[in-house]
Amino acid sequence: MQLPLKDIVVLEFCQYLSGPCAGLRLADLGARVIKIEHPQKGEAGRKLAIKNMWVDDSSLLFHSINRNKESFAMDMNNEEDMVWLKKLIAKAQVITHNFRPGVMEKKGLGYETIKQINPSIVYTQISGYGEKGPWNHKPGQDLLVQSLSGLTYTTGSYDDAPTPVGLGIGDYLCGNQAVQFIIAALIKAKKTGKGSLLQLSLLETLIDFQFEFFTTFFQSEKVPQRAAFNNANPLLSAPYGIYKTADGYLAIAMMPLAKLNQALQCEALYVYSEDDAFSKRDEIKNIIAQHLLTESNQYWLQKATALDLWIMPVLNWNEMISSGGYQVLDMEQKINLNKNKSFITTRCPIRINNKILKSAKSAPQIGESNINIKASLI
């Protein structure tokens, strides 16, 4: 199958997560993604390990997010290397970078310079907080941006400390937003021959991610408050949340209290109307929580299924990967490494014409594509 971005060349001047995440998805869609790396150090993300897990000389995280790419090693302070790089830029369609504002300009690789070499280039820069302002040179790390964005006051309950989302959500969301706009700019370049400068930041991405909360705040002039009990979304009424049962946990989504009580048959709930669902959500949630402890997950799920209620079990990873709902998705793929080694990771979550997108190609060694790339430029 010919993938949508076949023959698109992406030069990735990126490190860690946000930029490489964009490159990963572009590669999954068929683009030729070439990492531009320092000849000795490589990309900084090679040394960012999670749980101290390594593959060869690079971290498992690096291999997971940089699979299916190539590497061109060059020194931006070396004149000969810069000649080769500019030849490569002339043949590319996309450049991505996530250095702090001003770094690429100092190296002579800012957008205004690059578009003189390649007027149709889609030049994408990702920063932590935007190109201007008092924070523009602050470290754009995911936890720091989550903390500044207000997101940590949407997770956990009222009396809890600010609670971050337990993964690099700003990096991953921003990288995937970049892909959306890169594809749009490629369509424009195809039609007009003119490139684009795309500017994204982790902070803007996380603010956009919280559009419901900000819209509510702008209209009410009140900061959304987390529920004191079983908070799952500060804007939503009872019963929305996760509840313990006699032998597990259930997630209960939004629904009328009366409909939920058809399954629960809880006497204490009958006194509450739908008008109470938000204003008295904490006491209602507490009543539901105490009632659900009396029976097992399976008991309550049978009741919920009979009434088509929005209730599902809460699974850990072992339970999830052994479930039929997971197995039918075929989400795993094997990545082949050197010396007959391999590891398992997740695949691209997209299907095209009913076909799953998988690639066994591993992340590159530093500069492993230099010879082939230079030969193609002669």
Whether the CB-CB separation of 171 and 144 falls below 8 Å is answered with: no
Q: What percent of the chain has pLDDT over 70?
A: 100
Strand ranges, E, within the chain: 9-13, 32-37, 54-55, 58-59, 70-73, 94-97, 122-127, 196-201, 241-244, 249-252, 311-313, 332-336, 342-346, 351-352, 355-356
Write the DSSP string, 3-66. -TTTT-EEEEE--TTHHHHHHHHHHHTT-EEEEEE-TTT--GGGG--STT-EETTEEHHHHHHS
pLDDT digits (tens, 9 = 90+) for 71-92: 999 999 999 999 999 999 999 9
Residue 162: count of CB within 10 angstroms of its CB: 14
| Kind plus residue range of the DSSP H or E element containing 135 | none
> How many residues are there in the chain?
378
Place of tokens 């939503």: 236
From CA 223, how far away is CA 291, in angstroms rounded? 31
Handedness of CA 16, 203, 253, 232 (dihedral sign): positive
Structural domains in the chain, CATH included, are: 9-209+332-377 (3.40.50.10540), 241-321 (3.30.1540.10)
Name every residue whose Cβ is closer than 8 Å to that of residue 253 and which is 6 or more positions away in sequence: 240, 310, 311
- Which pLDDT tens digit goes with each residue over 21-51? 999 999 999 999 999 999 999 999 999 887 7
Give the pLDDT confidence score for residue 55 in this predicted structure.
80
Q: Which two tokens stand for residue 89?
A: 């830029």
| Structure tokens, 313 | 């079990």
**Mean pLDDT estimate for the chain:** 96
Question: Does residue 58 carry a pLDDT above 90?
Answer: no
End-to-end CA distance of the chain: 30
Count of CB atoms situated within 10 Å of the CB of 142:
23
Average pLDDT for residues 182-211, to the nearest whole number?
A: 98
Predicted TM-score of the model (pTM): 0.94
Phi-psi region of 136 (alpha: psi -120 to 50; beta: other; left: phi over 0): alpha
Q: Count CB-CB contacts under 10 A for residue 293.
A: 12
pLDDT per residue as tens digits for the range 132-148: 999 999 999 999 999 99
Residue 56 clears pLDDT 80, i.e. is over it:
no
The answer to whether residue 296 scores a pLDDT higher than 90 is yes
Q: What is the pLDDT at residue 74? A: 97
User: Region 160-186: what's the mean pLDDT?
Assistant: 97
Max avg pLDDT among 50-59, 187-196, 331-340: 187-196
- pLDDT digits 0-9 by tens, 116-126: 999 999 999 99
